[in-house]
Amino acid sequence: MSSRETRNRWMTMTVVLTGLLVLVTGASGTAQTLSNGNVTVNGHLDVRAVEGNVAVGNNDFQIGQFVLGLSSDINHMVSAEMEVAYASEAREVAVDEAFIDWRIFKWDGRPNPNDPLQFRETGFVVGQFDVPFGLDWRSYRSIDRPLVSMPLVITNTHQGWNDLGAQFYAQTTWSTLAVFAVNGFGTSPALRINEVNQLPEPLIATDLEADQNVFPTEAYGARFGLFMNEFVEFGTSFAAGYLEDNTQYNRMFGFDASLEFERVELKGEFISRRRDLNSGRYLDLGYYVQTLYRQGSLFGVVRGDAYRPDDGLTHFSGSGGAGYQVFDNAQLRAEYRMAEGSSNDTVYLQSVIAF
């Protein structure tokens, strides 16, 4: 393909993506959340143009995530949420989240001298939800992720961890705590196809559990976050998976840090995972560091990440991207992703909107 044909191809992609964004949002320039009484309808959609040798093939256009949700505040202490996601590659719709949030305590805004811990909220969640391990789980939805792709270590250790179970949470002015028990290590339907598989094939770890017919039936874990001040948070996470005979086979540890100050957002995460399987013990680990800078409606973001599977060979990847905030709930983004020692560099264009 000539350079002129390539330029024309990308120009066509950009025009189509921008046109779709305008059509979806309407002429008013504002995305609205629909509400009927105490029931709210919301969701998000992203459409991507992908150029590169990725695992899902050389498709030019893809539906990334298409999620529709319902939420309702039953009263000031109980709420319920449900989301369904469309996985375009599998052509299926599946439940992504469905849970009830029971609040035990919610701060009313008045100072309480008898509360030395300064609790703001406590409660528990039952149902299907994104498991709060580490830091990246806050960005599983494409509307919340400034880059299109997911870090290598997240993809290869716990992907978009989403499963059925229960979770206890507590938040104070200086800390957060989440403790969870779930059925295993499921993956969010919104991510199962379009996020996890869009990696160069050599960088996808072998599915040892499936190869050896080993599947977890339950998992437990927790994350504790500590706010040093209003800008900086440090966190640590732990999770353990068990087989049907109550044998522990999977242990994950994570450490994360984030900083948000004025126009700058910086975050990083380290994760290690050990699996004790029939054929031996396997250890994989990795990390990523990401920096984002905002200037008006524009932002730029860079990320470096590394992942070492159980074979001991470390893989490195780097991404650089930029985005334009069309309005509060819509963005246009571009990303260039480089994979060390591979010809699988990938370019993404993305339109994403929340409604």
Q: Which residue has the tokens 């819509």?
A: 330
For residue 126, the model assigns a pLDDT of 97
Query: What is the fold of 33-354?
Result: Porin (2.40.160)
For residue 239, the model assigns a pLDDT of 95
Amino acid identity, residue 167?
Q
Question: Where do the structural domains in the chain lie, given as residue ranges?
Answer: 33-354
For residue 16, the model assigns a pLDDT of 45
Work out the number of other CB atoms within 10 angstroms of the CB of residue 40.
15
Query: Which residues have CB under 8 Å from 177's CB, separation 6+?
Result: 168, 169, 170, 171, 222, 223, 224, 225
Q: Which residue has the tokens 């910086």?
A: 266
| Tokens at 178, concatenated | 């989440």
Report how far residue 43's alpha carbon sits from residue 325's, in angstroms, rounded to the nearest whole number: 18
Q: What does each of the 355 residues of the chain score in pLDDT, given as a tens digit?
A: 544 454 445 544 544 454 444 444 443 444 445 555 588 999 999 998 888 755 545 557 888 889 999 999 988 899 999 999 987 666 788 888 999 999 998 876 677 766 666 778 999 999 999 999 999 999 988 899 999 989 989 988 888 899 999 999 999 989 999 999 999 887 776 665 444 333 433 334 445 555 455 567 899 999 999 999 889 999 999 999 888 777 778 899 999 999 999 999 999 999 999 887 666 678 889 999 999 999 999 999 999 999 998 777 888 899 999 999 998 889 999 999 988 765 668 899 999 999 8
For residue 119, the model assigns a pLDDT of 78
| Tokens at 340, concatenated | 């060390």
Report how far residue 13's alpha carbon sits from residue 336's, in angstroms, rounded to the nearest whole number: 16
Distances (CA, A) of 56 to 201, 341, 352: 9, 20, 20
Give, as one character, the DSSP assignment of residue 206: P
Give, as one character, the DSSP assignment of residue 147: S
For 93-138, give the secondary structure using H, E and C: EEEEEEEEEEEEEECCCCCCCCCCCCEEEEEEEEEEEECCCCCHHH
- Nearest CA among 279, 123, 108 for reference residue 206: 279
Length of the chain: 355
Range 273-311 burial, b when 16+ CB lie within 10 A, else e: bbbeeeeeebebbbbbbbebebeeeebebebbbbbbbbe
CA angle 111, 114, 118 (to 5 degrees): 60
Report how far residue 135's alpha carbon sits from residue 149's, in angstroms, rounded to the nearest whole number: 15
Report how far residue 209's alpha carbon sits from residue 211's, in angstroms, rounded to the nearest whole number: 5
Query: Which residues have CB under 8 Å from 291's CB, separation 6+?
Result: 264, 265, 266, 301, 302, 303
Query: Which residues have CB under 8 Å from 84's CB, separation 6+?
Result: 67, 68, 69, 93, 94, 95, 96
- State phi, psi for 112 to the nearest 5 degrees: -130, 100
CA neighbours within 13 Å on the CB side: how many for 327? 14
Report how far residue 298's alpha carbon sits from residue 261's, in angstroms, rounded to the nearest whole number: 17
DSSP string covering 261-323:
ETTEEEEEEEEEEEEEETTEEEEEEEEEEEEEEEETTEEEEEEEEEEE-TTS--EEEEEEEEE
Q: Pairing between strand 218-227 and 232-242? A: antiparallel
- State phi, psi for 265 to the nearest 5 degrees: -125, 125
